[in-house]
Each structure stands twice: as structure tokens, then as C-alpha cells.
Structure 1
């Protein structure tokens, strides 16, 4: 008996989506229901389509997916071109939350893009100007449909002339695009990040939380020099939420922990995501084990973001409630001496908590390697290789001297793929990075590498997208690189097997890699990266330099990045030497080390900072080195 195809296996899923779409279509096309009702019905189905099992089908490039996406797009056309109905603020919000999905289905559908519908709406919008943009029904709809690269400068400027709740939501919608791979898209995102901050107009309401958090995180991936400034405004929104909800921390030490029998100082570790299979666990588990010797360790996280193994590292676990903004129960359960944020930016509640004064000392690491701009964050840990100069981050910096090479723990019982047998007639280049890190400048560099290569080049992207977002990303990347492989999200060992099929790997810029570079080192796969000033532009360098590879793998300009990669491609002997050199580092042997100097020094620095808080909390911009402090 033949095994049914994946498409056949997912037929019941198609039938379910088909049935739910038919119910909405009946209301729209036969019963002529109001756009408001349609928008809310779509919101429910869209949410389902972005999760299993519906997303499993929606990421397949098959006829059934194209049909479903075309029907979704047709419903959006119906809603957005019905100018007789004025969209309420709530409908603008609900559509903004669907914005990414809406963009994806138009790209994947039979419409092929939103171009024709957007042109109709913009033409109508320009026919009659209104005093306020929010009063121009066609323009509001056009901005809800448009990507940041779809608009003329004049339309963006018109948006920024209004400081209203509607305008703020429309700006957020435009900034949600993870992959603006055009000149106008890159310029438009920079303009909105640097020149327009209407976020004080957004009321401190729970329904805005996810969007605000999304933009807080996504701004880090822009190429804009002032991209992080927007966080100052978004941080203020979280503080207004705290005030409205009456969220307030108790006095440090006022809550006693029954398990703290040795009366150790209490450290709350904010774990936005910390399952044992996640990269965050691999980086930070060794440090937590070390810290537990001196502190009573309390993990703070949502239940769905941790597991038994990660909870087991701690003395106590405090669960963040599903209603992420209601943090009072967390604040009532622990009054720590130190709050250590392994990252800030991956979860709404993490950003919210980072804007509260909860502990005497509040420190962060670069789990998400970017400044927080929070007035309540005292210090951040970094290595000299990650330090890119004064003024790069808003926090004071504890500069550790230890190397970072063996910090990340290996996965347990990891099965590495056998050495790859590669076809040298085609140079296979891995690009193992999230879609958010890919930008126009990086794509232009890849195109130049492709042009100058003496051999055919095949790129293999690992954008980590899911559902119809994968198909949309695949389409955008194929428009630049028709022969590229765009890998779907998969398990770790399957990912390593795919990664292993390449001659070398390239890190993006300006937001580089960390864990992906470690993955390449595990396989003995060379990585070429570029160094910049920000922490996320120096993480590759930090890892590669610790292994003695920076001279061969780290460029200091786009020109050197391109020429260096092209030289490795066009001189095969050099690439073979580099592959042999990376293999000779025996990274896996180092990778299994549990105790490491970096973790030990980080703990010493944290102890010192806790004992010298007056110095740590001095004027912003301080760089505190270990010599004479936590080092002899």
C-alpha cells in the first residue's frame, strides 16, 4: 500500500478551513453582512490558520493553499472596498492585528499581490482630501492593506501629520513588515522609526499590548541608525499601563521564601522563553547553575515557555498569568534583591516588567542583543568583543573579560550528521537566520556575491517562518534568488542535516547571528560575518574570535564581506583550508563543557554589582571593567 502524500494527509484540515471560509463567504456574499462582523469572523479563523494543524497546510505550496489564500484575499477586498461603512477604531485594530496574514495571503493567492486593489483605494483617497487622514475612508483602508514599501513618500508624510489613535495603529501596521526588501520599504521603515512617534495617543489598553510589543522587538532589525529611539515612547506606554492598573512592587525583601533556609539573597530570573530545547537554555543554563551557589534562584516565566528540565534549575518557579499585563501577582510573590533579565523583548510581560523598579539591582543580558532604553534597567553584561563603543546602549555595562566560546551547552544526545559529500560544481551557501534579519543591504551583498562568483551559487535560507508566512517569504526570496532553497521550520537535528549540505554559511548584517554560528561550528561549517558597533553586530565576531577564526571569517565593511566570500568561492583551495581549520577546532569537545570561565566571571560581576550599587547606578553610559573590581 502506497503512503499517502502530505497533501492527502492534510485533506481533513483543508476541509475544515474550507467549511469555515464558506460560512463567512455566505454571510458576506449572500446575506450582505456588515464589514465589522466579517472582520471579527476573519480574526478568529486567521488566528487558527497561524497555528497547528491549519498552519501545516497553509505553508505548503499546493493548489489547495493557493485556493484558500485567494478566497481569504477576496474577503479582504470586499471589506476594504466597501466605503459605505466607516470602520470603527476597533475594526482598524483587528485588521492591524491581521495585517501580516493579510499581506501573506495576497502574495500567495491568485491575486499575486495587493497591487491592483491598493491602486484603486489610493486613487479614491487622492480624489478628495480630508482635514484629518482618519476621516478619509479610502486612505485608512489603503494604509491597512499596504506594506511599508507600497506607499509614496507623500502618503507616508500625510500619515505623520496626524497624532491620533487611528494614525498610531496604521503606523504600527506598516512597521509590522518583517521583510521590506525594496528601497522604498527600507526608507519608509526608517522614516517611521526616526521621524514619527504618535504612541502617546494610544490609550493604555490591553488590546494594544501585542502590537506594541511586536514593534518594540522588530525595530532592532532595522538598518536605521536611530532605530531604538522608538523604545523610549513604547516604554512610556507600558508605564502608563502600570499606572492605570495600579501595578506596584513591594519593598525589597518583604516577601519571605520558605525554601530559602540559608537566607541567601533572592535573585529573580526573568525567562521570556526557556524551554530546555531552546537556544536560550543552551546559553544560560551554565550561568544559572553557577549562580545557585550564592543566591536563592526564582524563575519567572509563563508556563508555556518553560518545561520541567528548565524549571528544575531553580529553587522556585513563579508563573506569569495568561493576562500578561496583570503582573501584580508576580510582584506579590517575590521581592528580589536582584532581577536578572536573560533577555528583554521576546514577550510583552518581559518588556512590561523591565519598565518597573522591582529589585534593588536590575540587570540584563543580550539574549535579545539590543538596548532596552528602560530607565529601570541598571546594567547589562557584555564581553570586550561585544562592546562597540560609548553610547551604543543606554544601560551601564559590566564588561567581562572571559571568552564566550564554550558557554552554550550542547543538546543532550545530539546526533550529528555524517560528513557531507558535496558537489563542488555548485557552491552551496547557507543563510541560517530569521527572516527579520534579512534586509535590502544584505540581499544586495548576496546578489553581488552571486554575480562575481566563477561558479553557480545556490543559497539555502532558513527564515524560521511558519504557515502561509513561509510561502510569502519564499516568494519574496525567490524573486531575488530563483534557485534558492527556502527551508521550512523543522526540528533541530533535521535543521543540522540541511545546514550540513553547504560549503559555507553567511551571517546577515547589521543584525548578526549567535546560536546559528555555534550550530555551524558544531558542524565544522565556516561562517563569514560582518562586524559593527551594536551588540547584535558583534556576536558572530565574539564567537569566531574566541576560536581564532576572526581573521579569516569577519569583515569590517560590506565591500570586504563580498570580496572575502567571493575569494573563498573562486579559490577552492582556500575554502578547503578554511573548512579544515574550522573542523580542527573540535568545537563539540569544547561545547560539552559545563563549567566555564564566562559563567564564573559573570557571577562574580553580579556579586560585585550587588555590593556596589551606588557605583553601578551612576550616570548612564558607564563601562565598568573587572580589573580592580571583581577581578584581582
Structure 2
């Protein structure tokens, strides 16, 4: 079995003191190299791990707000560890907390400490909408917290996804109440993940989370006006993940550089991403510690730049963009779709989007400001280099998608593709996961696809070497991935995608169409299945598509400079119209 054992397992078993044990395991779950490495959990360690986790949950103190926050901080890691050990959250918590099915129907009848642990650690398998409603009549704060927490996962199972959506619909139906400000972190985590939930109401659920989170935010005084700099209005970029090597930087750094011609630009982002390249698209830079959670301090940093215009290249991947986007900090506040999900905030005045993605109304994104000069993402370190595919008779299917993009519908189609594929066709998943997250996901995926290879996080070169062995790449839906499409073109491998009405399902079809491969964009599931099956069963068709794909990048680059309105020009126009 590859990988090292989970490092905290055996030391924790030797700790007898309650406080020392709780502190040690809490810190081990939050940190440690094991979370970023390929780890192993031999069968003899599974029961020991569940025993340790059960003891920790039972003994965790929840007499104050801090105790609940500790549980919230580790709920995702705890879920992964439980899954890695071959268990599920519902039976695990029911056993650990000695809960009966009857208790779950009437949570308010349980002792207070059980209610708090259920709110902080439970999921939709434990809580129905009816139970949440009954609980809310006695404890509206923690019933709402429980519903919000239920929305922080994207189940691979269709039934679990429906139960999660039911919690979202209940949250939509209730008014916000005042909750501890530090619960905002869970609101952020849930708002991010629910954007990927396989349910048509996911944006409504996110809007409900934002509404409840916004009710907790402090009032922010308007910023003092400051004179323009050299006649230029002041623009502040609130950035997340803007560092070389990350897709956000590769997609946006070049486009942001044009802003300095029209605005005095200040970049506000977290200290770990600090780099010399930030000066290429900003005149000034302000950095804050990555652990900063004080909303007032973050808002004060924005106010210190006295922005005429606030721009978020993306919203929601990091805590600070989530909370700041709910505040009015500048006369004009715009976003783009580096994270292809609506902010659901009434404080965002418009969304910048490439004009070919805005051909149909998308009211959840608000007013659309379009640009038509779309820069391709800059190449990753080392560039996009095609690698020759090893010769062989065995067909290989690849899926490059994070766990949250592996929707039940998509996995159903993957199963159908394999059923119609040549015998012994291999299936490879690249979920960019490590630690217990990888172990839990591998268990779940191999429960459905026993022969599937679920790869750990790896460097770009290693990933491309393995992806190059694929005959066909299946793009997840309705949430695709721009970088996967670019990688497929670079390797000359057919990529099948599914068109949809949401922005998240429009980018891949657009890229393939502009690369001359529109025929790989399916209009429905049946066409998707037929395309994938045809490619896997026809060497001649794979060769034909491969030839087209290899010229696709050059074709895209040739179209790159044809537009007239850049992202920077679209922002300037929005500012001029507002002014």
C-alpha cells in the first residue's frame, strides 16, 4: 500500500489526559504533513482511527462558542478521516453520540451538548427539513447553523445530494437571526461548496447562505474621499490566489495589467501570495495575514485605499472575498468569474464576462459587462508540451476533476461510457486530492468503479505524463474546467464536454468551438455518451480528432487578439457610465 501512515494515529493513543488528548488531536487534524501527502491506512489502523475520532468527539467541550468553533474547524477533515476508515458520518455520529433515529426527528429534545455537536458536525443524512423546522422553534441559531453546515459538501450519491438540497430549501424559507460572527467561516465554506451542488437550486441555496451571513456583518462607515492620483480614479483589486503558477494568476495577470493605464491600482490580498509580479498590474500592494478573520480590519484596509471602484477577479474561493463582497466599500463594485459562480451579493453591481459567454440571460450574475478580447491563460510552468502516448491496445479514459465536480449525473454517464467501451478499458481520476481526502474519495469511487485508479495530487509535468496516456478525456458536467480543456488540446487528446445553461458549463464548449472542435460539445447526455463511445471504439476517429486538437491551441491563439474591448476597457466603460 503506497504512502506513509497517518502520523498522529499512534502517538494519540498513548495520551491519557483529556485536555492534552483533545488539544493534540485537534492540532493534528488541522495541520501536519499527512494532509498534503499520499498516506496509507492499513486495515488494522481503521478501527483504531475511528476509536480515536469517537473519543475526541465525545470528550470535546462545547460549553462556550469556542468549543463549537473547534468542531466546525475540523468537520471537513473529520468527515474525510471517517470516510478513509470505511465508515459514514451518520452511523459514526449516531454511535459516538448515542443518538437514536427518534432523536434525529426531534433534535431539540436531546441534551444541549448533543444538539451543539450535531449542529457542528452533522450533515443532511442526519437532519431532515422537518427536523430542522422543529429544532428552529427552540434554538433558531443552531438549527440555521446546522442547515448551513449541511451545504458544505457535494455528495457523489444522488440520494445524498437530494437530502442536501432539502436542507438548502429549508434555509431559504427562514429569516436570518443574529449568530456569532465567527460562524462566518462556516458560511464561507458552505457558500463555496454549494455552488457545485448537483441541484438546479444551488444558486438559491447560496443566496440564502449569503443572506444569513450578511445579517451578521458589522456596519461599515463610508470611506473618506481622496483626490485622484495623477488624474486617475482609484481602483482596488481584492485578489485571491493571484500568484504565479496558479490558474487564477495565469488567467488574469495579463488582463489586469491594462488597468494601470486608466486607474491608480492598489492590490489587496494575503501575504503568502506576495511576489514581484504583483507590481506588473498594480501601483501599490497591501497584504494581510492569511489567518485574518476580523471583518472590520479587512474592511478598514480596503477603506484605506479610498477606492472609487472595487474589482474582484473572483469571489468565494477565500474567506476575505466572500465577506468583503457583502459590504459596500466603493461607489462601484464589480466582479469577474475566475470562480465561475455568482456572488449572490446585492453589493456587487456587475459581472465582467467574455461576450460569447453572455449570449443567454443569466440573472443570477446581475448586470453583465462584456469584453471581446479574451486572453488565453498563460502556459503553466514549463509550458504546454505534448507528450507521446505509449503504444498499447488497452483503451484509457481520464477524468480530471476535483471531488466537488463529480456529480451523480456525471458519474452515471461515466459508468455508461465504460459499459459500452472495449473490454478492459481503464479509468483514471485526477481529483487533485491528498491525505485523508484522497483515501476517502478513492474508497467511494472504487466502490462504484472497482478498477479505477484515483491519482494523488502531483506536479504539472507528472500529471501531463499520465494524462497523455488517455485515449479520451471525459469533462465533468455541469462544472467543467478550462485548464483541462487546454491540457487536452496541448496533448492532442479528444475531450468530450456537455453544454449547459450555467456559466460553469459554457466555457469548455466555447474553447473547443474556437479551436475547431465544436463537434465534441454534446447538447445532451445521450449525445455525450455517443461521442465518448464512438471515440473509444474507433481508432480512426481518435486519430482524426487528435490531429484537429493538436492544431487547436494555435487556432485559439490566432483568435486571441481579434477583439476590440479588453477586460480593462470594459471596467473603464463601466466606471464612466457610473460616474
In structure 2, the partner of 1:344 is 315
CA contact (8 A) 1:344 1:354 kept: yes
Note the C-alpha offset of 1:554: 0.6
1:8-87 alignment runs, 5 A limit = 14=7, 18-23=10-15, 26-28=16-18, 39=22, 41-49=24-32, 53-56=33-36, 59-63=38-42, 70-79=47-56
Matches within 5 A, 1:121-140: 124-126=100-102, 132=108, 135=111
Tell me: CA distance 1:27–1:331, structure 2 relative to 1, closer, same or farther (3 Å). same
TM normalised by structure 2 equals 0.89
| Deviations 1:395-442, CA, capped at 9 Å, x for gaps | 10123344x4x521113543735322242x322121111111111111
**Deviation for aligned residue 1:499:** 1.5
Alignment partner for residue 371 of structure 1, among 342, 366, 372?
Answer: 342
Question: Using a 3 Å threshold, how does the CA distance of structure 1 residues 458 and 601 change in structure 2: closer, same or farther?
Answer: same
In 2: Cα distance, 1:72 partner to 1:556 partner: 46
CA–CA distance in structure 1, aligned partners of residues 568 and 131 of structure 2 = 51
3-state SS of the aligned residue for 1:233? helix
Check conservation: 1:340, 1:362, Cα contact below 8 A: yes
Q: Which residue of the partner structure matches residue 573 of structure 2? A: 608
Quickly say closer, same or farther: Cα 1:71–1:359, change in 2 above 3 A.
Answer: same
Q: Show the counterpart of 1:98.
A: 74
Q: What is the match of residue 167 of structure 2?
A: 192
Aligned partners of 1:142, 1:377: CA distance in 2, in Å? 34
How many angstroms apart in 2 are the aligned matches of 1:367 and 1:523?
Answer: 24
**61 and 542 in structure 1: CA distance in 2 versus 1, 3 angstrom threshold:** same
Alignment of 1:443-522 (within 5 A): 443-522=411-490
Structure-2 separation of matches of 1:186 and 1:588: 40
Write the deviation string for residues 519-544 of structure 1: whole angstroms up to 9, x where unpaired. Answer: 22222222111111111111111211
TM-score normalised by length of structure 1 = 0.82
Name the CA distance, whole Å, in 2 between partners of 1:117 and 1:43.
18
Deviation at 1:188, TM superposition (A): 0.8
Q: Give the secondary-structure state (helix, strand or coil) at the position aligned to 1:393.
A: helix
2:545 is matched with which residue? 578
Cα distance in structure 1, aligned partners of 2:439 and 2:432: 11
SS for the counterpart of 1:327 is: helix
Q: Contact (CA 8 Å) 1:133, 1:159: kept in 2 or not?
A: no
Answer yes or no: is 1:223 the counterpart of 2:198: yes
What is the deviation of 1:571?
Answer: 2.3
Alpha-carbon distance in structure 2 between the residues aligned to 1:559 and 1:604: 41
Q: Which residue of 2 aligns with 1:414?
A: 383
Which among 208, 211, 224 is matched to residue 233 of structure 1? Answer: 208
Gap change, CA 1:420 and 1:55, over 3 Å in 2: same
Q: Which residue of 1 aligns with 2:220?
A: 247
Deviation readout 1:241-273 (Å, 9 max, x if unpaired):
442xx5334144x266xxx4x332222112111
Alpha-carbon shift at residue 277 of structure 1 (Å): 0.6
Once the two structures are TM-superposed, the CA of residue 444 in structure 1 deviates from its matched residue by 0.5
With over 3 angstroms needed to count, the CA separation of the structure-2 counterparts of 1:482 and 1:301, relative to structure 1, is: same
Q: Which moved more, 1:474-483 or 1:492-501?
A: 492-501
Residues 319, 330 of structure 1: 8 Å contact kept? no
Q: Given the alignment, which residue of 334, 350, 362 partners 2:333?
A: 362
Report the alpha carbon displacement of residue 147 of structure 1 after superposing the two structures with TM. 4.4
Q: Tell me, what secondary structure is at the counterpart of 1:224?
A: coil
SS in 2 for 1:399: strand
Q: Is 1:506–1:528's contact at 8 Å kept on the other side of the alignment?
A: yes
Change (3 A) 1:285 1:482: same
Secondary structure (helix, strand or coil) at the match of 2:333 reads strand
Name the SS for the 1:372 alignment partner: coil
Asked if the contact 2:242/2:249 (under 8 Å) is kept, the reply is yes
In structure 2, relative to structure 1, the CA distance for the partners of 1:122 and 1:442 (3 Å cut) is farther
- Is the alpha carbon distance of 1:232 and 1:479 closer, same or farther for their aligned partners in structure 2, counting shifts above 3 Å? same
Kindly indicate whether the alpha-carbon contact (under 8 Å) linking 1:432 and 1:461 is maintained by their aligned counterparts in 2: yes
In structure 2, the CA distance between the partners of 1:117 and 1:411, relative to structure 1 (3 Å rule), is closer
Query: Which residue, out of 116, 131, 139, partners 1:158?
Result: 131
Distance 1:156 1:130, change over 3 A: closer
Distance 2:415 2:548 in 1: 27
Query: What do residues 6-42 of structure 1 show as CA deviations (whole Å, max 9, x unaligned)?
Result: 85xx68x83x66334532xx125xxxx7xxx865553
Q: Which residue of 2 aligns with 1:559?
A: 526
Distance, in Å, in 2 between the alignment partners of 1:493 and 1:599 is 35
Note the residue ranges of structure 2 that are not aligned, 5 or more in a row: none
Contact 1:433–1:461 under 8 Å retained in 2: yes
